[in-house]
Every structure is written in structure tokens, then in C-alpha cells.
Structure 1
Amino acid sequence: MAKPGVYHCSISLQALTVFSVLVVLLEDVQGGDKCPSFSCGHLRDVRYPFRRPGDPPGCGAQGYELVCSSSKATIYINTGTYYVTGINYTDSSFWVVDANFNANSCCSLPRWNQGPYTYGFIDSDYYLDLATRAIWACFTNCSRAITNNSMYKAVTCLSGSNSHVYVWVSPDDCVFGDLRSSCGYLAMVPFGDYRYSSDSQQVVENASYADIMGFIKNGFSVQFPINVNGKRTCSEAINICLNNSTRYFKEQISDASILKWAHAYFWSEIHFFNCVNYYRDEGYHCQPKMFLRLQTIVPAINIIKLLIVLCRFILAPLSVLIFLVYKYWKTRISIDVVEKFLRMQQILGPTRYAYTDITAITSHFRDKLGQGGYGSVFKGVLLPGNVHVAVKMLEGNSNCNGEDFISEVSTIGRIHHVNVVHLLGFCSEEMRRALVYEYMPRGSLDKYIFSAEKSFSWDKLIEIALGIARGINYLHQGCEMQILHFDIKPHNILLDSNFVPKVADFGLAKLYPRDKSFVPSRALRGTVGYIAPEMMSRSFGVISSKSDVYSFGMLLLEMAGGRRNADPNAANSSQAYYPSWVYDRLTAQEVCEITPVDDMHELERKLCIVGLWCIQMKSHDRPTMSEVIEMLEGGLDGLQMPSRPFFCDDEHTAVPDSYPLLSELTEIPEEDEISDSYVSRVK
């Protein structure tokens, strides 16, 4: 049994064929006698073989002459007068109603009291299609009443004491052999159309006399002749062949066999062409140019169908297969690159674990520490020794691809510095990847500097700032290749049990030769609020280690202020952008409305001044991390105020217009989103 969707597609293809053939043959079909169509009564677009009185002799057939009035079209068949209520050019038939039948009478006898028409021909110009394929109403007069026979319906209004009139319906002609011995033939009349369903025929056979009279009032169908006035038209042959071809198509498509389907798709047009050619040989008048058109259009339609089948069943699956192979190949290459790197790394770098080891270390990922952009972080234990670790599971659908994974392993895999987090191991099996770090029990720095209560003294803050600066400086200067972090922020600074800071999360880090003062332009990446201006536009300078200095400066200002640098909800709009506000405080000189700087702690002022130096808009105006360490270790007297940062212009004391622009350019979530570092807040 064919599926509905496929069946409808098949019917659509066949409809395309029929439409194409009709377009090609339109001139020949409509040009049977080169006469225009006309209106007659309520009928519109009446054409050959019908005509009107007074039309030229070549227009239409004489036996199909219609007498037209304002509301009716009348035709004469034999001695009877009929109203034409509809014309169907598709199956070459028209519908008529007996004009002399008294439709208002509740009891009447049809006028068709002639003998039965065995072959169905009314005359040489008409053919009654009901003669052999429709329902007939047969009237009989009996001398005795008929009982125990449901076929005979009594016509009470026409019956008398010695005369009993009955009517019955028959799918065939009313032949005298069906009459009872006590009955005589009275009249017969056809009604309806041969296209009754079996259910409809059953309703008609069980109908009463009143129902039968209602059927008769509706009229019957008359078919166009095969031969009109001795002229066989090409339109007749085309109609016959189209119907035959459609029937052939439906018969073939109803079978589930592939061979039958192939016949339906590719042989229907050939079937139609052979049919037209047959009727052409039988004397149907078809113009040679029309036949030449058929010889051209039929192969073209088959070619179109072949292309449709190829696209649907071969090219489309092949395209999907090629796409899947390509995706697999790309994934395989990524996995192979990672594997090749890890084999080399295994000799010198951290330990490589199997995925089963990772599940054992984390006790099947039972203790979750946090959730980041690259995956989830779980607490685990390494045996022997019961060493606590943090395991960052990189999700397969995250932004952390093979390149980022290699970057993180390669940058910190061989680094051993007190202020850089230590990578103990990793896992890479297909797309399942994990990083195993030393566990930082105090969590990340952000939960301390942004807390409502001051967590650290100023001395401790300076100590933490120096530790972070030394860790970043080691990345820039202490390795064979300089390492640029590109994502310095409080979330990525982790604290051990003694609150020693460690730089973490190297997913965005890159390695560059130390003799290079700048690095090539790259896609903007990082966290909003900490990205250096040159990462957005080269007009601010080149991307270099000074980009990390800018991020560190923003971190120092947040540590000094105990708040985020951009706070649209600040009570005073002038305080919304903290770098601008603190610059105004530090440069204020006896302005009454501005709080004097004397109430600022000396170390707070140092953090602010160093931070303002680090966030200079031009990269060449910023100090190096070595110079930052000297500034933090030195006294306050040796520090000078830097130039006013661009974002701290007088017209931009609130959050600057260019600041929210970062959120449109960066690929990383907002800074207040949970960090993707391996440890979130420790409860």
C-alpha cells in the first residue's frame, strides 16, 4: 500500500503531465471548428459541438442546436423538448431535464411510453450513456395486485379497482421478460448518472414512488457522440487518451511493486502518446504539428520526471551522506590533532587519565562545585594520598573545541609557579575531555571583593594584588614562549587555603614568541568590562601583553572599590562608572561638593593609581607587568597620577556609551554570569 505522502507526490507528477499535454494541445483541442464560445441561458462558455440557430454552418453540429432564452437553454431530441442544465466537456456529456414533465404534479406518468431502447441510441447524433450503465424507472399496469415483492412500488394515485400501477427500478433496460403474466408494459424513463456508488444504487433501489419521481425530475445525462455529423475530432481522441492514461497511472501506482511504480512514472506519457497515435490512424482528425509537439513534449516530461526521481531518491540522500562524512572527517581530524599533541605532552606534561579514572576520581560526578560556559566543575580525590582536586568536564556542545583544549593543556601543563594554578592531569577520549587541577578550597576572588562585608585588610589586598601580578608577569616573561591570558578577571583568580592567589582558566590563552612586541589580530574574545580597547579596534594600539595589563588594571580598581566598575544602579549617577569617579576623587583639590581624598586609605589610593595607569586607552601608555610589580612594591610618594582615561571624560561620568558596545562584540557571556573557571563559590 503506497504511503499517502508518496501517493500525493505521484498524483502531482501526473497532474504536471496532464497540464503540460493540455498546454501543448490547447490550440488543437479548442480549435475544433474555429468558432467562438457563447452563453446560453445560465450556461457559460458553451462551445463545440453546440451551436445556436443562425450560426454559420461550420459552427457546431446541427443536432446540438440550442434555443436560448434569458434563463434556459433548450434542445430538441427526437420529438421531445429538454432543458440543458449543465455541460461537462471533460467526459463529453450534458445534463437534460424533460421540459414537458409536470414537476408540480404529485402524480404523473413520464412521457417516455415508447418501446425500450436496447442499445441506447436516440438518433445518430446522440448517445444515451444511461442506456447500459445507469438506472431506469419502469412503469407497468397489472390486473391483479402484486404482493410479497419489494421490487414493485405501488403508484396508488394512478391505480383503480381493476388496475394496479407499479414502478420498479432497474440497472438495465426495462425488458418485457421482467413483467409478471398479469402485467403489461406502460412506460420507462432513465434518470441520474452512471457514476453512482454502490451505496447510492442501494438507496435508489429501495426508494419509494415519491423518491423515484424526485429522481426523474432531476433529469439524466446524455453523452456526446463518438461521431458528430461524420467528423471525428482530435479533441475526442485527446479526452479518451487522457482518461485512459490517468486510469493506467492510478492502476500502476496502487501496487507496491517498484516495477509498477516505474511504469506509472515513466510509461504514462508513452501510453498517452501511443493512444493518440492509434486514434489518429483510426481516422480522428489531428493536425501534424500537434503530433510533432507530442513527440517533443513526451520525452521532455520523462526527462523532468527522471531528474525529480534522481533528486528525491539519489541526490538528496547522497548529499546528506556527504555532509555526514564531512562532519565526521572534521571531527576526526580535530580528535587526531588532539591525540597527536597529547602523546607528545604525556612525556613531559601532566598525567593522562582514562574516562573511567575520571568517574572514579569524582565518585561518578557526585560533588558539583559549579557550572561555567565550557562545562561543569566537580570535586574529586586522587589516590593514593587523598589529594583533593577539581575536575572541569568540557561539554561536547560547548565553545571549547579541540584548539581551546590544547591551548589550556599546553599553556599550564608544564608551568610551576606559586601564583599559577597547577594542572595535574587531563582526559581525552573522543569528544569526552576533562582537566584535573589542584583544588582551591577558598574559591574565586570575586566572592570576597564583592561581598557586603570587607573580607580582607588593605595589606592583604596588596599582597593578593602582588601575587596576581607576579603570576601574570611569569606568563609574560618567565616561560620560553610568552603566554597571553586574555581573560583576567576576579572569577579566574583562585585562592588556596592560605589565600594565596593563583591565575586560572587558560581556555583563551595563546602562546607567542617572546621577541614579538605584539600579536596578530584575532577574533574578539574575553569578558565584558575587562577587554582592552585594542581588542575591538586597532586604532587604540596593537594586541600584546599590554592587553592583559588593561584587564589587570580593571581588576585592581574592583579590588580597591569593593564593587564592579560599571554599576548602572549606583545611588549617584556620577558613581556609575567607578574608574571615572575614583579619578575625580584623586584629582580633586578643595572642591566642596567632592569628598576630599584624605579619607582614602593609603593602600587603597595606591591600588587606584596603579589601576588607572593600567587602563590607559593607548596600549603604549600602560606599564608592563614588571613595572606594575615595582609600583605595587614601592611607596605611594613615588607614584604620579596618570592622564585621564578616555572613558573618564567629563561628558562620560556615567557608564560610557562605548562600554555597553562590548556586549555586542564579545563572544563570552556577561561578567556577572557564573564563571567557567574550574571552581565556583565554595559553600
Structure 2
Amino acid sequence: MQIELLLLVGATILLSLLQLCNSSGTCSENFKCDEVAYSYPFWGNNRPSYCGVIGFELNCRDFYTEIDINYQTYRVLNISEANQIMTIARSDVWDLNSGGSECPSAFLNDTTSYKTHFEYVSDTLNYTLFYGCPFNASYNSGGYYCNDANNISSLYVTADSVGSNKNTSQCQGSILIPVRPSSVREWGSSFGIISNGFDVKYVGSYHSDCVNCTNFGGGCAYRRYNDSSFDHFYCYPAEKTRNLRRIIALVIGPISGFIVVIILVCMCWRKKYSSVNSIVFWKKLKNDEKVEEFLRNYGSMAPKRYHYSDITRMTDSFKDKLGQGGFGGVFKGKLLDGRLVAVKVLRESKGDGADFMSEVASISRTSHVNVVSLLGFCFDGSKRALIYEFMPNGSLEKFIYKDKPLETSSSLPWEKLYEIVVGVSRGLEYLHRGCNIRIVHFDIKPHNILLNENFCPKISDFGLAKLCSTQESYVSMSDARGTAGYIAPEVFYRNIGVVSHKSDVYSFGMMVLEIVGGRKNINRLADRTSEIFFPHWIHTRIELNEDLGLHGITSETDAEITKKMIIVGLSCIQTNPLDRPPMSKVVDMLAGSLESLQIPPKAIPSSSLGSQHDSSST
């Protein structure tokens, strides 16, 4: 069996060498439309699909370049390949510039940055287009028209989402249209602003791969190997290298026969290998199959796989340590293209890597401004690591806890803490509803909330996450998971309710209350018994409308947002999961007025439930 396996491996290597030597075409011809040319990762028309990436197909229509994203067609106004920025405008809105054109049968809301390769740049604004309006408006004031099936239908564009200057409630509907802030300054009319388009950034490991390829004179492409169902990045060699490989190909035949003989001779000595080495070999082969299956399932969307030697190089032999946890250490690193990264190196494991690949699979499904981006991973035998985008300000934990209870860090004002809470709530809502499959994190806490240079929060560490269908109302679990102090009571005491995405809501609520209090929610060293469990103490104060005694409240705005965070936090930690709001409701509560919120009942601490319920968890 081992002889057949090694012969198969040898034959595969030889076929790969032959295919590599016989490769032709450089993908050097760009996509062209009306004298405008674009290269990798874009393709279309005269440029074959293997010369680009799925989702980057361009079309030349009536001398204009267009691209389809999420069933919406956009006109490409400019592409800055160096900065990975593309300026696009909705084709259906652009066509209205001709005046008196036919109305689209329906206007679709823009979803460019939703589960695609593209995301809006940070300063993108939104204008509102009301259509099917019964009133007339001048062009400069935002009015326009198009022909519908019966008569002329007016359109109205405004930066105000409610259209305060017009009776927009009589219009048939409205859509949001992204715009560039520079267009607002340069153009006087609203239609000029939206026709000038907006910017999106396209990201992915294929960009850094291509930079390294072109630096050596090669051509970037994606190729399908051995009739497999997934594609790989491929760097076509420079012309002089291809000529050299054609020469080498002429002698590959004789050499291949010699290699087969060497393999047969080596296998004659197989009895000298111990049974331990055989087990290690088969285990490594099985792990590699697991990784290859993952890469097949995700295709071009899969994060880049690195060898452990790459990890050592990018971290400069683990020189700069950022943090330490039970899983291992986190080190600062740098990719070949100069990007800084955080490398999470896990302790050496003897398992089959199922939990590790589950974490890779979980975060690979995400693309959201409040979820940390996974740039690559290493699964090299027992060596495992994850490569994340670098967060200069580290974790939220170091900005909220103080030695004295009820005092928050003076380095972050209340408005910034409120923005962080809102960002985390949106990230969790995305994990629960925005992905094509629901992701329950099970370890939401300040330590796992990372902050970038602008203190934008990003949810990280998916080591305990579970995947489930969006239609499923519960999560199947064989063991309790999470961090003490943040674990929802139903995770331990199953007769309280089923484990579901509401368990993340509980953890989020406990974290919000810790942000407000600037301390751990349970403080057994407190002077008074009433202060041991902070949620109970703050609930009593807010219910009696007493002074909250929080540090750093200097304005009515501070008082309002802290009270709002307290009520939201208390609502999220209700004992019964059915009494907790979903994250979509939490986002609305944080965005709404304080007057619309009601103080929820007082929750029972998880530590007190042990005497009231029997645990059915293992």
C-alpha cells in the first residue's frame, strides 16, 4: 500500500513539473474598453477568466466599462490598481442623466460591500433617492424625471433621509445611494453628486501574491489543476524563464523514469521505518487532507496558507510579543508587501486540528468592519498559527478596568466608549444574521474586542465559535464553553432554556456593564454586600433614579449615553434567553432615544442559579 502511495505521489510531482514546463500565455493582455485598460485581478472580454479572480469580471457595453456586484450593475469610472480603489456608479441612476429616459422597473438598494470582494471606503456618504414622486422639482434642487408606463415620474435626491423639503411620503419608495465627500464639495446638483460615483476598496491575499509575482517579471493568473473544482493563484514566468523551462521539458521524460526507479529502491528499505514514524506520516497526511478539503470548499475566498518557516520569518523569530493567553502567544509580524499583522501562535497540539480549522472556517466566512480580518493561517503538523490584521491599540480590556471600582479609564471619553459598544453590537448582529450561515461566538468579552488606530472595535478570537443554520433556533453542544463571568446561564443550566445566539447577547450585556462600571461585574472584595454583583447595584440605582456614581460624566450627553448603555446591558443579561433582545433589536435600542427604553426586571446572577437548578451540561 505504501509503495502504491509513494508511486502516486511521484507521478503527481512529475505531472506537475510537465504542466509547469509546458505552460504558455502570460495573461499580459489587459482588459480593454474604449482605450481604457485594466489588469489583474480584473478580467473579461478579450482577457480570459483564468487571468483574474471570480467576482472581478468587467464588461464593455457601449464603450463603457461595467461590473456586476450582487445583481446590481455599476459603471466603472476609474480603477486605481496601486491603491486597490475602484470608483463606480449605479448604471440605472447614471442612465437617468440623459433626461427623459425610461424609468427602471425597480430600484434595488445598494449592497456593494455586503458579502462581496468590495467594501466602501471609510468616508463614504449616503444620499437618498425618492422615486415615483407626484411633485416637480428643479434640477439644481435635486429634482429629475423619467418616463414610466403611464406618464412622467419625478425623482428627488437629497442628503436628508426624510426629505424634509418635500412631501416625500407620497413617493413610491426610496433607496440609499453612496457618494464621495469630494463630489459633494465639487458638484452643485444632487444628481451630479450621485452620478460622480463612489469609491470601494477591494481586498484579498491575491493582491500581495500578484505584487510578489510582478516584481520578478511574471504575470498574475488563476489556474485550474488536474480538472479539480477549485482554482489556485498562478504566476506565469517571465519570457526568458519560460524558454528555459521548455528546454528542461525536453529532458523531463528520461529523468522521470530514473525517479520512479529511485522510489522503488527506497521502498525496499521501508521495513527499517518504525511503526511510530508510520503513524506520524499517516496523521500528517490526514491533517493535510483536512486543510485541502477546506481550501477546495472556499476556493479563491480561502485565506492564504503559510508554512511554519514563513511564520518564523514574518515575526523575525517571534521577536515582538504582543500578548499571552491560554491558547499561546500573539506576536507582531510583517508580510512581504509591508503590511503589519498580528500572528496568533497556538500551543503545539496533538489533536486532529478540527477545532483549529473550525476557527479558520468561522472567520473566513466574515467580511465586516467590526469583525477582525483573517489574512492567513499555518497548519504545519503540530504547528498552528493564525495571521490577523494588526490592531495598533490592542484589546478593549486595557482601556476600561481600573483598580478602584466604578471608575473608568480617563483615556477614553464616554462618547468613544459608546461608539465602541455600538460597533461591537453591529459586528455581533452581522455574525448572527448577516452571514449565509449563523456564527455564535461564545466568548464575547473585552479581551476579545480589538481596537484599530481609530479605536474602531473588531470582534476577534473565534476559537470557541459554532456554526449553525440561520433557521435553527438552538445550538447543539456537548460541553460548556466560554469565560467565567460572561457565560450565559443556559450554557450550564439547560432547563433554563436552549443554547442559541442569545448566549452571545448575554455575554455582550455583561461586557457593556463592565465598560460602564470600569470593573469586573463580580467583585467579592467589595466593602458592601450590595456591591458584589455590579448589575444588581446599578439596577437599584437606576430604578430609584439615584446618582450613578460613575467617574468622568461631565455633560448631559455623557449621562444619557451611560444610562442608555446600562438599560441595554441589563436587558441583555436577563436569565431567560427568551427575555433577551436579539442583536438586531440591541442595535436599534442603542441608536434610539433614551425615553423609548424601559428598565428590565432584575436578573438572577449565574452563581446563584446552582442552588435553584440542576445542571445538565457536561
Task: Give the Cα separation in 2 of the matches to 1:576 and 1:466.
Answer: 27
The alpha carbon displacement at 1:588 in A equals 2.1
Task: Give the Cα separation in 2 of the matches to 1:494 and 1:630.
Answer: 23
* Equivalent residue runs for 1:604-643 within 5 Å: 604-643=562-601
Q: Which residue, 349, 355, 359 being the options, matches 1:404?
A: 355
Residue 464 (str. 1) matches residue 420 (str. 2): yes
1:382 match: 335
**1:571-629 superposed Cα distances (whole Å, 9 cap, x missing partner):** 222101101111111122689x9xxx999922211111110100000000000000000
Q: Match for 2:577: what amino acid?
A: S
The alpha carbon displacement at 1:365 in A equals 1.1
The alpha carbon displacement at 1:328 in A equals 7.4
**1:362-383 superposed Cα distances (whole Å, 9 cap, x missing partner):** 1111111111111111100112
The alpha carbon displacement at 1:348 in A equals 1.8
Task: Give the Cα separation in 1 of the matches to 2:414 and 2:617.
Answer: 33
Aligned-partner SS, 1:376: strand
Q: Against the structure 1 CA distance between its residues 467 and 560, is the aligned structure 2 distance closer, same or farther, given a 3 Å change threshold?
A: same
The alpha carbon displacement at 1:334 in A equals 4.4
Aligned-partner SS, 1:516: coil
Task: Give the Cα separation in 2 of the matches to 1:661 and 1:515.
Answer: 32
Task: Give the Cα separation in 1 of the matches to 2:307 and 2:530.
Answer: 55
2:507 match: 551
1:358 match: 311
The alpha carbon displacement at 1:514 in A equals 0.6
Identity %: 48
Q: Against the structure 1 CA distance between its residues 495 and 401, is the aligned structure 2 distance closer, same or farther, given a 3 Å change threshold?
A: farther
**1:175-197 superposed Cα distances (whole Å, 9 cap, x missing partner):** xxxxxxxxxxxxxxxxxxxxxxx
Residue 417 (str. 1) matches residue 368 (str. 2): yes
1:283 match: none
Task: Give the Cα separation in 1 of the matches to 2:451 and 2:278.
Answer: 46
Q: Which residue, 390, 393, 413 being the options, matches 1:442?
A: 393
| Maintained 8 Å contact 2:478/2:617 | no
Task: Give the Cα separation in 2 of the matches to 1:352 and 1:620.
Answer: 41
Q: Against the structure 1 CA distance between its residues 523 and 324, is the aligned structure 2 distance closer, same or farther, given a 3 Å change threshold?
A: farther
Task: Give the Cα separation in 1 of the matches to 2:617 and 2:392.
Answer: 31
1:46 match: none
Task: Give the Cα separation in 2 of the matches to 1:547 and 1:375.
Answer: 26
| Maintained 8 Å contact 2:475/2:500 | yes
Task: Give the Cα separation in 2 of the matches to 1:382 and 1:642.
Answer: 49
The alpha carbon displacement at 1:338 in A equals 3.3
Identify unmatched segments of 5+ residues in structure 1.
1-320, 648-654, 668-683
| Maintained 8 Å contact 1:350/1:414 | no
Q: Match for 2:291: what amino acid?
A: V
Residue 534 (str. 1) matches residue 490 (str. 2): yes
* Equivalent residue runs for 1:486-505 within 5 Å: 486-505=442-461
The alpha carbon displacement at 1:564 in A equals 0.6
Q: Match for 1:616: what amino acid?
A: Q
* Equivalent residue runs for 1:83-162 within 5 Å: none
Task: Give the Cα separation in 1 of the matches to 2:497 and 2:293.
Answer: 36
| Maintained 8 Å contact 2:567/2:600 | yes
Q: Against the structure 1 CA distance between its residues 505 and 628, is the aligned structure 2 distance closer, same or farther, given a 3 Å change threshold?
A: same
Residue 338 (str. 1) matches residue 291 (str. 2): yes
**1:189-234 superposed Cα distances (whole Å, 9 cap, x missing partner):** xxxxxxxxxxxxxxxxxxxxxxxxxxxxxxxxxxxxxxxxxxxxxx
Q: Against the structure 1 CA distance between its residues 328 and 534, is the aligned structure 2 distance closer, same or farther, given a 3 Å change threshold?
A: farther
**1:482-521 superposed Cα distances (whole Å, 9 cap, x missing partner):** 1010000000000000000000000111111111111223
The alpha carbon displacement at 1:570 in A equals 1.6
| Maintained 8 Å contact 2:442/2:464 | yes
2:433 match: 477
Task: Give the Cα separation in 1 of the matches to 2:316 and 2:279.
Answer: 37
Moved over 6 A (4+): 321-328, 597-600, 659-662, 664-667
Give aligned pairs, total.
333
| Maintained 8 Å contact 1:614/1:623 | yes
Task: Give the Cα separation in 2 of the matches to 1:532 and 1:342.
Answer: 34
Q: Match for 1:362: what amino acid?
A: T
Q: Match for 1:632: what amino acid?
A: L
The alpha carbon displacement at 1:343 in A equals 4.6
| Maintained 8 Å contact 1:449/1:559 | yes
Identify unmatched segments of 5+ residues in structure 2.
1-273, 404-408
Q: Which residue, 391, 394, 400 being the options, matches 2:346?
A: 394
The alpha carbon displacement at 1:431 in A equals 1.6
